[in-house]
Amino acid sequence: MREAVNSPDYHVPIDGFSQVIRGRAGATPLFLSGLTARTSDGTIVAEGDVAGQLTQILDNMKAILAEAGATLDDVVSIRTYILDIARWDDLEPVMRRFWGDVWPASTLVDARRLIDARYLTEMESVALVYP
């Protein structure tokens, strides 16, 4: 479970933003590669729909984490790349649906291009799994 720590000396830009996520001793870190909006057969989904692509990415992340004995609740850090930073408002509701009020520590990067021009967003993450 994520525990957020926020300092009153640094502005929290939106509800759910976590300045620091505290882990506990004894965790095994999992470093997830950048994930895109592909199904298990490689089909790219939700072309032109950044929220739909992020939903697929987080569904993929959930499945991959399960294979490693983890859940989305174990994710402590994310880095999201988006082709159009102005579309951030489309991503926020998806983040809330998957992570509620305490998000992993996060960075949002305005990217010029991803590996395939049909991708609008990509996300990498770190999770901590406890025995």
Per residue in 97-113, pLDDT tens? 999 989 999 999 999 99
Residues of the chain with pLDDT under 50: none
Residue 1 has a pLDDT of 66
Spatial separation of the C-alpha atoms in residues 120 and 23, rounded to whole Å: 31
At 110, the amino acid letter reads D
Domain membership of residue 28 as a residue range: 3-129
Looking at the DSSP assignment, which residues form a beta bridge with residue 38?
44
33-49 pLDDT, tens digit each = 999 999 999 999 999 99
Q: Which two tokens stand for residue 118?
A: 């049909």
**CATH number of domain containing 124:** 3.30.1330.40
* Segment 116-120 long-range contacts (CB within 8 Å, at least 24 positions apart): 116/36, 116/44, 118/44, 118/47, 119/36, 119/37, 119/44, 119/53, 119/83, 120/37, 120/48, 120/49, 120/50, 120/53, 120/82, 120/83, 120/84, 120/87
How many structural domains are present in the chain? 1
